[in-house]
Amino acid sequence: MRRVVVTGVGMLTPLGDDMESLKNGLLTNMSGVKYMQQWADDMADISTLIAAPITEQDFSDIPRKHRRSMGKVALMTTRSMQDAIKDSGLEEEHIKNPRTGMSFGSTMGANESLMEWISTVYKHNGFKGQNSMMFLKSMSHSVLANLAATFGVIGRAIPTCSACTSSSQAIGVGYESVKYGMSDIMFVGGAEGLHYLEAGVFEVMGATSTTFNENPILTPKPFDKNRDGLVIGEGAGTLVLEEYEHAKKRGAKIYAELTGYATSCDGSHLTTPSRKGMEAVMKASLQDAQLTAKDIGYINAHATATAKGDIEESHATHAIFGNKTAISSTKGYMGHLLGGCGVVESIIGIIALNDKLIPANKNLDEVDDACADLDYVREHREEEISHVMSNNFAFGGINTSLIFSRV
């Protein structure tokens, strides 16, 4: 099989917009979680008033002919792809090539556009005078469609809109496209823009953190006995995946090799996490990479700080790895980026490989007794490792597991 390597990286995250900033944010135990005054002003009965926004951005350099059909989620991903292309050194001939494709996902399109559009329709009881761009901003594959038009990508185009596994599935699709010879280069990733609509959805389900509004930096608390739910964040990321010999031939720098991927569905409950499903997808990813549990030096857990999710994930992980493999959830630093979490957490895994940084579990004060006996990283570790596993799990019982390796 053809080897697949990462040759470019771009991102917008609550901790920073490049690998150095992201690394430093982790090292300094920075929190991207903030009190959302606008939510308190706009919504009468929302209890979770904290979230993790990205830093203020200026998207005016994106040509208006493209920008006018983009909501925030597409704008953010466009910026991350601009940075990834620059980082990779790809030329126009590489980008606009039938052998170059893309796969991107988000939970939804632009929620702010969707809310404005629907509110106007209800207010006027009709569609007269509606902005024709509103649907293009809010449709589920808005990210991929806008990126393809903006950058002129004409190869494989696969949207992966699967909630919290959106961008990890996008990475997996790109990996398989290159590995099995359908593409030489794939742009992959995803994003989520911040909006109280998503926070409200999780709050209705009883899944959001609500007791730390006065001390936002103390939450979320993955695996901690006093965790009280997830915190919504926003972010975007793009990876350039490239066939190994193709990358070598053009002298590209290589960050890591993507050696394993698996995705599966629990086939049971829409929202209740499945220990069996999580365990199965991790085993399948190891099998795809032709590795054993002992080969993995660090696991970036999905763990969102929900009551049942963290417990089930910890036991699924223990069934394969025991308590010998370092594990942390980096959502304690920046909340849950939903459609953007898979790609950003993959980038953190790449940092772990290249910079010998195994990040600690932020806000983990006392491990919940109901969680399995794992090697929960309590302080940052400087350790050379060869393989990293990054796991994500989504509503609908959708599971993903990615393995990145040092070249």
Per-residue pLDDT of the chain (407 residues; tens, 9 = 90+): 899 999 999 999 999 999 999 999 999 999 999 999 999 998 888 999 999 999 999 999 999 999 999 999 999 999 999 999 999 999 999 999 999 999 999 999 999 998 888 888 888 888 887 888 999 999 999 999 999 999 999 999 999 999 999 999 999 999 999 999 999 999 999 999 999 999 999 999 999 999 999 999 999 999 999 999 999 999 999 999 999 999 999 999 999 999 999 999 999 999 899 999 999 999 999 999 999 999 999 999 999 999 999 999 999 999 999 999 999 999 999 999 999 999 999 999 999 999 999 999 999 999 999 999 999 999 999 999 999 999 999 999 999 999 999 99
Does some domain include residue 406?
no
Give the number of other Cβ atoms within 10 Å of residue 169's Cβ: 29
Strands 100-105 and 298-300: unpaired
Rounded CA separation 209/50 (Å): 8
Residue 405 lies in a domain: no
In a domain, 373, yes or no: yes
Q: Which helix (H) or strand (E) holds 402?
A: strand 398-405
Q: How many domains does the chain have?
A: 1
In order of 54, 57, 285, the CA distances from 400 in angstroms are 25, 30, 8
CATH (domain of 125): 3.40.47.10
Nearest-angstrom CA–CA distance, 323 and 376: 9
Q: Is residue 12 part of a domain?
A: yes
In-domain check, residue 404: no
Rounded to whole angstroms, the Cα distance separating 17 from 55 reads: 8
**Predicted TM-score (pTM) above 0.85:** yes
Domain encompassing residue 340:
4-397
- Which residues form the catalytic set? 164, 302, 336
Whether residue 220 is preceded by a cis peptide bond, meaning omega within 30 degrees of 0, is yes
Quick one: CA dihedral 195, 201, 205, 211, positive or negative? positive
